[in-house]
Structure 1
Amino acid sequence: MRRDAAGLAGLLATTGVLHFVAPKPFDGIVPRSLPGSPRTWTYLSGAAELAVAGAVAHPRTRRAGALAAAALFVAVFPANVRMAADWRHASPAKRAVAFGRLPLQAPLIAWALRVAR
């Protein structure tokens, strides 16, 4: 597997597993506007990340998986915005994490699009 694809698949798989192993932090950033339980959305997004990781890992589905990864990174941006808003008065370390995630989405999207090529 290409190294960039392996890295992307690994990142997605790790994050996907974390949604199931430690769901509480993810529950807290689910946008309130979504219907239903935040935990449901946490599990759904974790499952989506695992499915996309599998697609990126396999050469026959890599292009579609990488495009799905780019879409996923766009889709989770509102949760990152919520985290930044919620943590704006938190400790400096938490603020750095929350606000640091916002510009991180652009290189993640670019990485996924590069893998799709």
Structure 2
Amino acid sequence: MTSVLTDGLENSRQVPRPRPRPVTSDTLSELARLAALAELARRSSPSLMHHAILAGTSPATVAAAAKVDVAEAHIRWHEWADTAVGRDEYVRVHTAFAEAVIARHPAVEDELRP
């Protein structure tokens, strides 16, 4: 008894395999450019967050633009700002982030009340 799957195999064609492509210098150059761009974005985004919040943009809007949640934006900003800005600016932006985190998580606010 033959299987439906094996019937007619004598008339089948071999499935073509893609030829391996050598890695070109263009591919490696593009990869290097993308890595440099990712590093630039990682280093500059906390500074851009800082200036946007000082200009009046809400932390939620800043976080959405950076494609992270408010808590992650706050952490990234803090790691940069801890050594990059003065105390008054730090407190202003930190307060804005903290209020935004608390607003998104009411349970945190309840825990902070005496």
Structure with higher helix content: 1
* TM-score (norm: length of structure 1): 0.30
Q: Which has the higher contact order (CA 8 A, sep 6+)?
A: 1
